A and B are shown apart, each in its own frame.
Chain A
Amino acid sequence: MGDKIFYTTVFVSLLIAIIIIYFVVSIILYHRRYIRLQRERITAEITILENERKRIATDLHDSAGPLLSTVKLILNSIDVQNEHDKKIIEKSSRYIDETITNLRQISHNLLPNALERKGLVEATREFIQQVSEQQSLAIELRCSGDIQVQPEKAIHIFRIIQEIVQNTLKHAKASQLRISLSQDDGQLLLLVRENGAGFDVKKVKSTSAGLGMKSLEIRTDIMHGSLAIESAPGQGTHYCIKIPA
């Protein structure tokens, strides 16, 4: 009788242990699946967004731009005698030129041509040059070795750099920003350091409603990479992003 009780107790305990283990394993598996689905959903959303940006940029560059140039040509070919009319045509022509320049700028901001034609490093260089012309921030780009990145990852890395530069301009009050790109052991390393006001990373992550930081995290996550941000008030900010190539 004693043996029967012992073995039955052991058996029932074993069943309950299996139930508990199954509970833990099952919730872990569902959670992993949920994370995977979330990542797939966000990747799809960002891909749609980038494709749409590309389409708009191409339309602006290839359709609206030439059309406006044609309008300008036709306008200039009008033979007018009246001085007042001539001035109006000149003024309109200047507006059309401005509009064409603005359209090119918008198209470039949406998707830099250099990214597709010359790759990540050249596109970043072009972007830095543009920012430096308009802002007082001194930006330095260092690349060690030959940087080879897949096009679908290049766009995310470029957007990350854009986001960090924009954040620095908006919030950091920094005078210097250094960007370093290197590739080794099948891993792309993007290091960014600025000497701005700095911030409390944990606090900003938990309270910020802005999309900047989230965008960095999401794009890094999509590429299965890791993002580390080190900052403290008054000590500038360091970004370290590792991406498997």
Chain B
Amino acid sequence: MQPNHITNFLLSEIVAIPLVIGAVRFYRINTSYHPFILLLLMAFTSEVISFICIHFFHSNNAITVNIYALIESLILLYQFRAWGFLYRRQRLFYTLLAIFILLWTVENIIFFKIETYSPFFKGAYSFVIVLLSINEINYMIVQDSRLLFRNAKFLICLGFIIFFIYQIIYEASYYVLGKDDVVSVATRIISLFGYVNAFVNLLYGVAVLLIPEKKNDLYFKRHFGM
């Protein structure tokens, strides 16, 4: 059974749960997680705009999705920079940034795919984000002696891996499906995307709850009660 666009919208709006938790805790949490909260806000906004486009204006949401894809990729890169890996590798950070912008521009502006679905850019940045997430997770597995399932970064990276691997398969399915063809397997993969997205958003909700507080504030509060 394929979910209709209202069901899809409701599933995608589960992103509001981690967003609300993040907004409540925003000033207390470690600043290195702020890009992630911004990402949740962007995802929420994008889903609302997409719903309005489809439901009220009966138009295509491709432009919103494509612009959101670029913003998401840049925020994610910045998130990995804030976590330290890309901060220590400035050249890699700027190279990936340039590649993302170039790829998006070529696909969406030069080949004028902005009004339709552009799978190459999304596939490419999903692949990079999965590799960066694996890198973070492996670092934590080897170096971090704390319980990983109570580690916000670990859960967020796990969510990224699940979501973006599925996004690669999803974009490939869209690419195979084309505009009018109906391939049952591809259709099922696409229809499941909303559920995967919802699950990952719930995982993000738990992760946002586990984001550590700012260390300095905590020490000052403990010692001076302010």
A residues in contact (CB < 8 Å) with B: 1, 4-5, 8-9, 11-12, 15-16, 18-19, 22-23, 26-27, 30-31, 33-34
Q: Is the CB of A19 within 8 A of B130?
A: yes
Q: Is the CB of A34 within 8 A of B165?
A: no
Residues of B within 8 A of A34 (CB): 142-143
A8's partner among B134, B135, B141, B175 (CB-CB below 8 A) is: B175
Residues A22 and B131 in contact in the complex (CB < 8 Å), given A8-B176, A27-B138: yes
B residues in contact (CB < 8 Å) with A: 123, 127, 130-131, 134-135, 138-139, 141-143, 165, 168-169, 172, 175-176, 181, 183
Q: Is the CB of A8 within 8 A of B139?
A: no
Q: How far is A1 from B169 in the complex, measured between Cα atoms in Å?
A: 17
Q: Is the CB of B138 within 8 A of A1?
A: no
Q: Is the CB of B181 within 8 A of A23?
A: no
Q: Is the CB of B141 within 8 A of A27?
A: yes
Q: Is the CB of A15 within 8 A of B175?
A: no
Residues of A within 8 A of B176 (CB): 4-5, 8
Residues A30 and B138 in contact in the complex (CB < 8 Å), given A4-B176, A5-B183: yes
Q: How far is A18 from B123 in the complex, measured between Cα atoms in Å?
A: 14
Q: How far is A26 from B130 in the complex, measured between Cα atoms in Å?
A: 13
Give min CB distance, B64 to chain A, whole Å. Answer: 25
Q: How far is A206 from B220 in the complex, measured between Cα atoms in Å?
A: 43
Residues of B within 8 A of A33 (CB): 142
Give min CB distance, A12 to chain B, whole Å. Answer: 5
Q: Is the CB of A22 within 8 A of B175?
A: no
Q: How far is A23 from B135 in the complex, measured between Cα atoms in Å?
A: 7
Q: How far is A5 from B173 in the complex, measured between Cα atoms in Å?
A: 9
The residue in chain A whose Cβ has the minimal distance to the Cβ of B185 is: A5
A30's partner among B142, B168, B181 (CB-CB below 8 A) is: B142
Q: Is the CB of A30 within 8 A of B139?
A: yes
Residues of B within 8 A of A27 (CB): 138, 141-142
Q: How far is A11 from B175 in the complex, measured between Cα atoms in Å?
A: 12
Nearest 7 A/B pairs, CB to CB: A30-B142, A27-B138, A26-B138, A12-B172, A34-B142, A23-B134, A8-B172
Q: How far is A11 from B168 in the complex, measured between Cα atoms in Å?
A: 10
Q: Is the CB of B127 within 8 A of A15?
A: yes
The residue in chain B whose Cβ has the minimal distance to the Cβ of A1 is: B181
Give min CB distance, A150 to chain B, whole Å. Answer: 32
Listed A/B pairs (10) with beta-carbon separation below 8 Å = A4-B175, A11-B172, A12-B172, A15-B127, A15-B168, A19-B131, A22-B134, A26-B134, A30-B139, A31-B142
Residues of A within 8 A of B168 (CB): 12, 15-16
Residues of A within 8 A of B143 (CB): 30, 34
The residue in chain B whose Cβ has the minimal distance to the Cβ of A11 is: B172
The residue in chain B whose Cβ has the minimal distance to the Cβ of A9 is: B172
Give min CB distance, B24 to chain A, whole Å. Answer: 34
Residues of B within 8 A of A5 (CB): 176, 183
Q: How far is A16 from B164 in the complex, measured between Cα atoms in Å?
A: 11
Q: How far is A30 from B144 in the complex, measured between Cα atoms in Å?
A: 12
Residues of A within 8 A of B127 (CB): 15, 18-19
The residue in chain A whose Cβ has the minimal distance to the Cβ of B135 is: A26
Give min CB distance, A34 to chain B, whole Å. Answer: 5
Give min CB distance, B157 to chain A, whole Å. Answer: 12
The residue in chain B whose Cβ has the minimal distance to the Cβ of A30 is: B142
Q: How far is A19 from B129 in the complex, measured between Cα atoms in Å?
A: 11
12 additional A-B pairs beyond A19-B127, A26-B138, beta carbons within 8 Å, are A4-B176, A8-B176, A12-B172, A15-B123, A15-B168, A18-B127, A19-B134, A22-B131, A27-B142, A30-B138, A30-B139, A34-B142
Residues of B within 8 A of A15 (CB): 123, 127, 168
Q: Is the CB of B169 within 8 A of A12?
A: yes
The residue in chain A whose Cβ has the minimal distance to the Cβ of B127 is: A15
Residues of B within 8 A of A9 (CB): 172
Q: How far is A8 from B172 in the complex, measured between Cα atoms in Å?
A: 6
Residues of A within 8 A of B123 (CB): 15
Q: How far is A27 from B140 in the complex, measured between Cα atoms in Å?
A: 10
Q: Is the CB of A19 within 8 A of B172?
A: no
Give min CB distance, B127 to chain A, whole Å. Answer: 6
The residue among B142, B168, B183 with the most chain A CB atoms within 10 A of its own CB is B142
Q: How far is A188 from B134 in the complex, measured between Cα atoms in Å?
A: 42
